[in-house]
Structure 1
Amino acid sequence: MAGEGNLPDVWSVSDVERLAAARLAPQVRDYIAGGSGEEVTVAANRAALDRVAVVPRALVDVSACDTGCELFGARSSLPVAVAPMAYQKLIHPGGERAAARAAGSAGVPYVISTLSSEPIDAVAGAAGATWFQLYWLRDRRTVVDLLRRAEDAGCRAVVLTVDVPLLGRRLRDLRNGFALPPGIRPVNVDGDVGEHVPGDSVLARHTAAVFDPSLSWRDLDWLREHTSLPVVLKGVLDAEDADQAVDRGVDGIVVSNHGGRQLDGAVPAVTALPEVVAAVDGRCPVLLDSGVRTGADVLRALALGATAVLVGRPVLWGLGAGGERGVATVLDLLREELETALRLAGCPDLASARRLRTRG
């Protein structure tokens, strides 16, 4: 593949995943790859994306191809942001800072998780444009503190995750008795995640203790009163929810089923995307999350009306395969694949990609 300093003999995200899987402990591999229940939605996300067929345009000058866009006040080199993901030091000692540096070098936003294993300011200082992902916590003082820290660190948006009143029942983690090794914990949230218990997941126990399942529409007003940053909702799949969110002043929507890690049997995110785009009707950006693996997937999302996508597991595979260098490889692959897909579809820019027709 193109790009100096990338991992050798890697031509796709699948290659990167194989490298990472060979280097990571089995329970860590399962933590990254796994979903909830029987992982029906994990598979459905991928199958639904594969069914989206793009109708290319012909006789278009694609000698130049612009992949850039603006996302929440910052220029991005791609219609891509790194999704919020917890405990990245579990995967590589460089952790969130390594991934954030790679995102910054690639010119794409990096979303810092509430459950980051490194402090907000340290991760933001390593990155370019950053957004902060917020889980709704029982302790509102902690929520306010997190918002202030995100603002002080220069984050450009707050991404409120709305599909985790409790953690999905992730069978791989339960079977493995998944636990965090010593020295890795959610440093931005008080409290110990607890010890290993056979047949249990420490992550499920911890989130049940600190997440507030009473999150509802009325809390959006409270959130907007406590931050000056744009508020983006992540985890929306229903068009009526999207319409109500925009009516209540939300600044962005992420169509997501949490990568199949929450409700098993939920609609694939890409299947829900067109109805959400129609309901929003241009009033705010709509991003797609869940299942994106290739530049062709990014093109599919754009053709269905998405402003951009979030990329999750591929970044973690990159981190596991080679730290910052591995993440840089993944982002470089996506860039190369998207540029190729755009040109082959007859699209010199992202606006023309959004005018493409699709089938399937």
Structure 2
Amino acid sequence: MPDLQAPPAPALCLDDFEGLAAGVLPVEVREFVAGGSGTETTLRLNRSALDGVTVVPRVLAGVAEAEVGCRLVGGQVGMPVVVAPMAYQRLVHPGGELLLARAAAAAGVPYVISTLSSFPLEEIAEVAPSWFQLYWLRDRAVVESLIDRAEAAGCGALMVTVDVPVMGRRLRDVRNGFALPEDVVAANLVGARSEAHVGVPGLSAVAAHTASAFEPAVSWQDLEWLRSKTKLPLFLKGILDPRDAVRAVQVGADGIVVSNHGGRQLDGAVASVNALPRIVDAVGKECEVLLDSGIRSGTDVLRALALGASGVLIGRPLLWALAVDACGEALELLRKELGDAMLLAGCANVQDAARLTTGRA
């Protein structure tokens, strides 16, 4: 008798894609994607804090179907979701950023191209409406070149990550001596093959590359310079303190991404969702506020909207889905979950969701 193996069960929620990806990815790549910094306290806290947010539903709303589309950064989007910037997506699938960007375009949501994307930003922007995420590099001429390239490629916004003066100590990568394979490079940077490809036991090669390439002493003055160099809408990603959010608006930011980098930077940092309400109170009438870190479901999106966010960024679940050629399915599942959650909460649209009240479990 032939050895018949049952096909994998379909994904019923976004978390299911991680299990599916485990069947196709090497252990060290899975750990690079899944891991956080230090003892991963903040990584775990992001999830528990979101689970602790309760929403008070409204009833008898007379709604048969919720409209999940909305306006974000002045344009219409299919749902209040942005695909987060994530580096080196060819690690999980040969199609990498191009495949995920196409799925984002089909879902009608913005795709954020990472400075460390494994395809050139121009190629990615050709297949999907995109924003560009900027890491601040030691060579300001390269920073300026990346801004010019993003504008020329038609990127709709610029998102500057401000919480990586140095890379957090990610112990899974250190233990694995993690390095990039030769065919995965930071395609936007000159001399793309770098320290990131040199494996050393007990060291993270990706962290070594970050240390040599990133400027640790970036300041508000640098952001003022950046604001003077581009007319693109400007988001700052990695804000957790309301005082920093206020300063960001003062230097001309159009949006804030409340984020602890998915638990991958300062271990012990506040959960992003716990920081969100104070930042909304401080600047929510002056700029868009997005929530990042830990989003795993349509219910999480509803929680963020009820707490005052304009929308959310979602990252890891889409990398797991990318690994198994299921980016489109993952985004469609998220859209359905959000629609169901809004309907159950008595919301006809995203504006209604923003008027819900919340509590703590």
TM-score bracket for this pair, using the shorter chain length: over 0.9
Shift of 1:193: 2.5
Q: Which of these residues, 250, 254, 263, is aligned with residue 253 of structure 2? A: 250
Match of 1:346 in 2: 346
- Contact 1:193 1:203 survives alignment (8 Å): no
* Whole-angstrom CA distance in 2 between matches of 1:64 and 1:170: 43
Q: Return 302-311 or 217-226, whichever deviates more.
A: 217-226
Task: Kindly provide the CA deviation profile for residues 284-317 of structure 1, in whole angstroms up to 9, marking residues without a partner as x.
Answer: 1000000000000000000000000000001101
Q: Does 1:142 align with 2:142?
A: yes
Shift of 1:318: 0.5
Superposition pairs for residues 201-212 of structure 1, below 5 Å? 201-212=204-215
Match of 2:3 in 1: none
Match of 2:95 in 1: 94
Match of 1:290 in 2: 293
* Whole-angstrom CA distance in 1 between matches of 2:318 and 2:89: 10
Shift of 1:61: 1.6
Task: Kindly provide the CA deviation profile for residues 109-162 of structure 1, in whole angstroms up to 9, marking residues without a partner as x.
Answer: 0000000000011001111x2100000011011111101110111101100000
Q: Return 75-84 or 59-68, whichever deviates more.
A: 59-68
Q: TM-score with structure 1 length normalisation?
A: 0.96
* Whole-angstrom CA distance in 2 between matches of 1:95 and 1:189: 17
Q: Does 1:193 align with 2:183?
A: no
Q: Return 339-348 or 71-80, whichever deviates more.
A: 71-80
Q: Does 1:9 align with 2:10?
A: yes
Q: Return 255-264 or 217-226, whichever deviates more.
A: 217-226
Shift of 1:73: 3.0
- Contact 1:259 1:289 survives alignment (8 Å): yes
Match of 1:3 in 2: none
**Match for 1:254: what amino acid?**
V
Match of 1:232 in 2: 235
- Contact 1:65 1:347 survives alignment (8 Å): yes
Superposition pairs for residues 42-191 of structure 1, below 5 Å? 42-127=43-128, 129-191=129-191
Match of 1:4 in 2: none
Shift of 1:8: 6.3
* Whole-angstrom CA distance in 2 between matches of 1:274 and 1:54: 14
* Whole-angstrom CA distance in 1 between matches of 2:63 and 2:163: 40
Q: Which runs of 5+ in 1 are unaligned?
A: 1-6
Q: Provide the alpha-carbon RMSD of the alignment.
A: 1.0
- Contact 1:166 1:211 survives alignment (8 Å): yes
* Whole-angstrom CA distance in 2 between matches of 1:348 and 1:79: 14
Q: TM-score with structure 2 length normalisation?
A: 0.95
* Whole-angstrom CA distance in 1 between matches of 2:37 and 2:323: 22
Aligned length: 350
Match of 2:269 in 1: 266
* Whole-angstrom CA distance in 2 between matches of 1:136 and 1:164: 9
Q: Which runs of 4+ in 1 moved over 2 A?
A: 190-194
